[in-house]
Amino acid sequence: MRNAIMIVLMMPVLSLAIDMQAPYAFDLPDEAFRLMAEATVDPCSLCVEKKLKEAYAVMNRMLQPGLVMESDERCRFLKRNPGDGFELSPVCQPTGALKQAGGEGRKPPDVVFVFYTPQARLVGISENDYTDAGTAAVFNDSPLGTVFEGRIRLIPYKYGDGPTYTYFQGANKLQIHCTVIKLTPLKR
């Protein structure tokens, strides 16, 4: 009887612990990305504006400052483009479902997580949100094509299209601003 009472009393605490698990990098807003892909081929400028507004609303709910995302075997981070600064691409984007939902000419946005250091700053990013030098060195010392396990925290960017992101419509590129908490190279 005593154990049963203890279990009942612990249930709310356990449910909070389960809810506090960090999302993984693959928990990105596919619905928003689908709308953005549709906007790339829509000839109606008002329709494009409406689709982007809907996409931003979805991303504004999901991509909040402070959200921690962690990679796992289903989705890791990749250093892919030279000269793009401190950008990590989730290897699981676009997802299979998003690729299948695409139609003639529709291209999901190029999603990158971008981070900053005292040497690579951006106006509107707080110094408190810079990635530490040791983590940045791990990134810099890794060649293109390096796959990483990692953990990031989304950071506010007051000059973006949403609380943590900037969308470059012409390039169809979505930059999600973050701090890298942990970065471990897996294969080079």
- Global pTM value: 0.83
Q: Which residue has the tokens 């950008």?
A: 87
pLDDT confidence of residue 179:
97
Q: Helix axis angle, 45-62 relative to 30-39, nearest 10°?
A: 160
How far apart CA 156 and CA 169 sit, in angstroms, is 20
Q: Which residues of the chain have pLDDT under 70?
A: 1-26, 84, 96-103, 187-188
pLDDT confidence of residue 27:
76
The residues spanned by each domain of the chain are 23-187
How far apart CA 95 and CA 148 sit, in angstroms, is 18
pLDDT confidence of residue 3:
52
pLDDT confidence of residue 130:
96
Instruction: Report yes or no: 81 and 144 within 8 Å, Cβ to Cβ.
Output: yes
pLDDT confidence of residue 16:
40
pLDDT confidence of residue 76:
94
